[in-house]
Each structure stands twice: as structure tokens, then as C-alpha cells.
Amino acid sequence: MDVPEGFDPGLILALNLAGTFVFGLSGGLAGVRARLDLVGVVVLAAVVGLAGGIIRDVLIGTSPATFRDWRYLAAAAAAGLVCFFAGRLLERAERSVMVFDALGLALFAVTGATKALRFGLGPVQAVLLGAITGIGGGMLRDVLLRQVPTVLREGLYAIPALLGAAVLVIAQQAGSTNPVFPVLGASVCAAVRLFALRYGVDAPTPPHSPPPTKEPSR
Amino acid sequence: MDVPEGFDPGLILALNLAGTFVFGLSGGLAGVRARLDLVGVVVLAAVVGLAGGIIRDVLIGTSPATFRDWRYLAAAAAAGLVCFFAGRLLERAERSVMVFDALGLALFAVTGATKALRFGLGPVQAVLLGAITGIGGGMLRDVLLRQVPTVLREGLYAIPALLGAAVLVIAQQAGSTNPVFPVLGASVCAAVRLFALRYGVDAPTPPHSPPPTKEPSR
Amino acid sequence: MDVPEGFDPGLILALNLAGTFVFGLSGGLAGVRARLDLVGVVVLAAVVGLAGGIIRDVLIGTSPATFRDWRYLAAAAAAGLVCFFAGRLLERAERSVMVFDALGLALFAVTGATKALRFGLGPVQAVLLGAITGIGGGMLRDVLLRQVPTVLREGLYAIPALLGAAVLVIAQQAGSTNPVFPVLGASVCAAVRLFALRYGVDAPTPPHSPPPTKEPSR
């Protein structure tokens, strides 16, 4: 490839597989909670784990890597099986779906932005595409379980993804391919997201609207 | 490109950006009404403004133009911000979501059909793809807000889009690249859609079904 | 094409068109039941009939065949019209949506796996992609009508699709291009699916969960 390669491909692959696995956990746990059966849990884990990367590749205009590389499929399926058999344990950790979701968001925001840069997209587009990669899986999870997507309801979901992707894009634009930056970007994203979850921070609501309700459309 | 170019690219670009903006308004206003916060409103505006064109490009089999061209991103984001800060004003105009939606439908039907012809698809396919470009954004808006898509519930939604696209495809097939035809096609589509909205005209219901209800699946 | 061709293209085309038509019937009937109007019924038939193949082609990374080939469009539209005008008749056959859905699942599982092999994907990926081709249409139908997708709720939906695709992939890997194998694969898939429907067989539920309910999230 004749475009600048950017960060260590091995690190990016590892982050991508980790993102697939934790998003898979988030999807699988949501499936266990909705009392889906074995197949439903694994399918939902796979959809959530793989959708972000597929949407990213379609938007970049490249052939989705997922189905050529068995490791992504294995990571997503493993997450589904873990949820099915150990779901009770994972559930004890309160709000565990949200925690895994935050980690997946962080990892995919960083790897999505990296891939966008590698395919020659501009920095603003790369930040947006990073956020979309992170948001896609959870959005599809919510649509399939018939909920208004988290990203539309809670302000500090897209914003941490944009921040995490921005850290990486700025570093890359400044010429640095130090592997600390993808890790830093992912950490910033996860930290902001978890902080917002813990303390209930939200984005502003329209100036003229009545007091916000948490789940407005129910 | 060695296929016939068709209409003035500048006009098509202008129509496309206008379509992105008005569909963005339709999405953003729907978000304000569902009491989403700032990020939710902007994200929904962007999804509705950009989805039609992305679906069109994926179905044609070309790389989506959206993420290479910042102007689309800017148009969609601007629409979201307008809705967030001036939503109350826009809402006063009754059924404004529907009006903006009709304009977006008209603009995208025409530009979608034009792009399909430029990529060598047949006239029937171009008409269908124009309609799909117009329908895609609103369909996704309704799915994300957990409503049965308008296009499935109201007959005169797909039909005006098909009509508008057909005007353009027939003109192009007849060899005319006069810029009046995209404008005429969009006007026909918008006029039929708004007429149907105003007077409650619907497509026929199945011969054997009970008296139609406006929102059957609620 | 310099990759092994596999099975008779004419047979695969016939199976694909049949799959499009029966999935179209499944979508159109679901539309009639939801009391959609003419356009809604045809659009839903087209979406369900065409979505599986489009998702397959996007995941393979090739341009979707659907919009280049009018026969798919005609098959899907014909299914919609049949449902609109003869819906009452089709409905008398109890659970007819489910039966057509099982046939579509079977046909698309086989043709999806075949196409994946032809584009050089590995055998495991081909089996998965066959199942996804079969599942995609029904999944979208359920999302558009605001139901949790069948595949997530009922275990023996994805499994028959995987079985049917596996029959074909194993035969092809063993070097046989005998046209009996796609037919056998589709038959296995349809038989297992219909058997599960008839006798209410389900995939196992999580070990720790309360007694399963049929539609958990309602």
C-alpha cells in the first residue's frame, strides 16, 4: 500500500479483536437478559461484535475484512458462548452490558479512525468514521431488541467516541506512530464514557424542551 | 468516465446537498420531538440526511461518496444544529417534518436516478434506485425511533418518488440533458406527495381487508 | 472467472429466483396481515425478497447483482402483487408466512454458500454466509414491522440454515458439483425448519434463566 501505514498493524489487530470480543459480550449479555436462546445469544453477540467494522468498511468502500478473517468470527462467537454459559456471573457485575459496551466503543473508535486514515480519508472524516465504527454495533443491538438506540438517548456516547478517535487522528497527523496513542485514545474514550455513566452526565437538551426524561419514547 | 454524463454536475450536486439538508431537518425535528439531546438530534439528522445516498451507492456497487466529501457531512450536521436551536420555530409550521421529508424525497429521487443512469443501470432500475434513495433516509429515521416506516403505511410516499425519478429517466432516455427536467421531476414528486398529505389520499388497501386504519400496527 | 465455478449456474439462478419469490411472499403476507396498503405490501415483499442477497454481496465485497438483473426485481414485485390480490387465499393455509419463510431460508442458504465459495471464501465462512443470506430478509421484515427478529427468538431458525449450507459446502469441498447437492442442502434446511415449527423444538436456553417464554421482550 502506498499510503502511510500508521501504527503497528499487530497492535491494531489486537485492539480490533478485543473490540469485537467485548462488543460481543455486550450483545450476548443483552441477549441473555432478553431471554434469547443459545442461537439468539450467539447471533446477537456476532451482530454487535461485527457490525461496527462492517459498516466502517462499507462506508470506506472496501470489502469487509470480517468474512475473510476467521479470527473476527471466532472472537464474536466466543463472546456469545461465554455469555450463554456464564451470563449469570457476568450479570452480577452491575451494568456489565454498559461497561463492555464502553470498552468496545473505545477500541473500535480508535481502530476505525486508523483504518480510515490508512485508506486516505481526511482527518475530520476519520474521526467521524471512528465514532461510527464504535457506535454501529450497539445501535444495531438496540434496534434488534426494539429499543431506541443508546446513542440517540444519551449524549455522552458519541462524544467519547469522537474524542478517542480525535486523539489518534491528531497524533497521526502530527506524524507520530507511537503505539501509545491508540491506547491513549481508547483510554480517553472509555474513561469519559464510564464517567458519564457513573455520574449521569448528559449532553444538553434543546433549549425549549420540557424537563428531559431518561427514556422519552416509552 | 466513458458513460454519458447526463445533467449538469453542478446542478446535481446542489440538489444533492439540498436534499441532504432538508432530510437532515426532517430527522433533526423528529429527534427534537422525541426529546433527544443535542447529540441525538445531530446524529439523527446526519443518519436521515446521509442514509439515502449511502444505500444508493452500496446498491450501485460504488464507494459511498459521502465520507470523501465534507460538504455532505457539513449539510447534515448544519441541519441537526438548526433543529436543535430553532426547533420550536420550525415546529410551529404544522407537519414540518413531513414537508421537509417530502422535499428530501423529491430531491433524492431525482439525483438517485441520475447517478444510477450515469453508472450504466437500465431505466427501470434507475427509477427504482431513485425511489430507494429518496425512501432510505426516512425509513431509517422511523426504524431508529421505533415506528413502522411511513413508506409502508402510507401509499403515496413511494409513488411520488417513482414518478419524480421517472420524469428524469424518460427525459434522459430521450436524449435531453436540459436542466429543467431534474427540477421538473423533483417538483412533480414534491407536489404529489404534499397533495396526498394535504388531502389524505392513500394507495388502495387489499381487497379483502377490513376498513383501513391510519396506523394499523399500533 | 478463474476460480472453480462449482454448480450449474442455471440451477443456482433458478434457486435464487425461487428464493426471492418465496421470501417475497413471506414479506408480502406479513404486510397484508399488518394491513399495509398496496405499496407497503409490494415494498415489504421486495425488501424481504432482495435483502438477503444484497447483504451477502456487500459482505463478500462485490457489487449487488440485484439491481443489474431485472429478473430479481420482477420476482420480488410479483410476489408482492400475489399477496396483495390473493392474500386471503394464501392466509387460509395456516402459518403460511412461516412456510414460505422456511423455503426462502433453504434456497438462500444454499445459493449464498455457493456464491461465497465462488468468490474464494473459506468453507466455514461460506457456511456462515449462506446462513446470513437466508436470515437477512426475514430479519429486516421483522425489524420493519417492529418485532424482535425470529432468528433471535427461535433457536431452530439459524441452525437449519447452517445445516443446509454445510451440505453444499462439504459436497463442493469434496469436489462434487452434482446438482443433487444444492437440492439436498435446501431440502435438509427446509425439513429441519418445518419440523421444528411443527413440533415446537427450540434451541437450549441459558442454564440459569427462568422458564423460557415464547416472546420474551413483549
Query: Shortest Cα distance from A42 to chain C (angstroms)?
Result: 9
Query: Shortest Cα distance from B145 to chain A (angstroms)?
Result: 6
**Is the CB of residue C151 less than 8 Å from the CB of residue C130?**
no
Classify residue C94 as exposed, middle or buried by CB count within 10 Å of its CB (0-12, 13-18, 19+).
exposed
Q: What is the DSSP code string of B81-122?
A: HHHHHHHHHHHHSTTHHHHHHHHHHHHHHHHHHHHHHHTT--
| Per-residue buried b or exposed e for C127-147, using 16+ beta carbons within 10 Å of the residue's own CB | bbbbbbbbbbbbbbbbbbbbb
Q: Is B38 on the interface with A (CB under 8 A)?
A: yes
Lowest average pLDDT, out of A44-48, A109-113, A214-218, goes to A214-218
Q: Is B200 on the interface with C (CB under 8 A)?
A: no
pLDDT at C217: 38
Rounded average pLDDT over A176-196? 89
Please indicate whether residue A180 or residue A3 has the higher confidence score (pLDDT): A180
Q: Is C205 on the interface with A (CB under 8 A)?
A: yes
The mean pLDDT of chain C is 82
User: pLDDT confidence of B77, banded at 50, 70, 90?
Assistant: very high
Q: Please, what is the end-to-end C-alpha distance for chain C in angstroms?
A: 49
pLDDT at C210: 46
Three-state SS for A7?
coil
C34 to chain B: closest CA residue:
B217
Distance CA A206, CA B91 (A): 13
CB contact under 8 A, A205 and B39: no
Distance CA B79, CA B27 (A): 9
Query: Shortest Cα distance from A118 to chain C (angstroms)?
Result: 18
**Is the CB of residue A73 less than 8 Å from the CB of residue C129?**
no
- Would the pLDDT of B92 be above 80? no
Rounded average pLDDT over B139-168? 85
Question: What is the DSSP secondary structure assignment for residue C65, as one 8-state letter?
Answer: S
**Is the CB of residue A48 less than 8 Å from the CB of residue A27?**
yes
Distance CA B192, CA C57 (A): 35
Q: What is the pLDDT of residues A15-41, one digit of tens each?
A: 889 889 999 998 998 888 888 888 889
Q: Is C121 on the interface with A (CB under 8 A)?
A: yes
Q: Is A34 on the interface with C (CB under 8 A)?
A: yes
CB contact under 8 A, B85 and A206: yes
Please indicate whether residue A216 or residue A150 has the higher confidence score (pLDDT): A150
Q: What is the pLDDT of residues C17-37, one digit of tens each?
A: 988 999 999 899 888 888 888
Q: Dmax of chain A from CA atoms?
A: 53
C-alpha cell at B195: 397533495
Distance CA B152, CA C28 (A): 11
Facing residue for C36 by CB, picked from B121, B143, B152: B152
Classify residue C81 as exposed, middle or buried by CB count within 10 Å of its CB (0-12, 13-18, 19+).
middle
Rounded average pLDDT over B25-39? 87
**Is the CB of residue C138 less than 8 Å from the CB of residue C152?**
no
Q: Is B66 on the interface with A (CB under 8 A)?
A: yes
pLDDT at A133: 92
Sequence-distant (6+) residues with CB within 8 A of B184 are B167, B171
Chain A CB contacts of B145 below 8 Å:
148, 217
Residue C48: what are its φ and ψ, rounded to 5°? -70, -35
- Would the pLDDT of B189 be above 90? yes
Distance CA C132, CA C56 (A): 7
CB pairs under 8 A between A and C: 97
Q: Is A63 on the interface with B (CB under 8 A)?
A: no
Chains near A (3 or more Cβ pairs under 8 Å): B, C
Lowest average pLDDT, out of A142-156, B108-122, B187-201, C84-98, goes to C84-98
Chain A CB contacts of B89 below 8 Å:
none
Chain B CB contacts of C87 below 8 Å:
206, 208-209
pLDDT at B6: 53
C22 alpha-carbon distance from chain centroid: 9
Q: What is the pLDDT of residues C154-190, one digit of tens each?
A: 668 889 999 999 999 999 888 877 888 888 999 999 9
**Is the CB of residue A172 less than 8 Å from the CB of residue A6?**
yes
Lowest average pLDDT, out of A2-16, A40-54, A120-134, A179-193, goes to A2-16
Give the mutation candidate from B29, B32, B36 for the A interface (greatest A CB count, under 10 A): B36
pLDDT at A210: 46
Classify residue A136 as exposed, middle or buried by CB count within 10 Å of its CB (0-12, 13-18, 19+).
buried
Facing residue for B159 by CB, picked from C39, C84, C143: C39
A132 to chain B: closest CA residue:
B43
Chain B CB contacts of C39 below 8 Å:
151, 155-159, 203
Distance CA B203, CA B199 (A): 13
Q: Is C143 on the interface with B (CB under 8 A)?
A: yes
If you average pLDDT over each of A84-93, A181-190, B202-211, C64-73, which comes out highest?
Answer: A181-190
Q: Is B63 on the interface with C (CB under 8 A)?
A: no
Facing residue for B67 by CB, picked from A121, A149, A216: A121
Distance CA B41, CA C13 (A): 44
Q: What is the DSSP code string of C138-160?
A: HHHHHHHTT---HHHH-GGGHHH
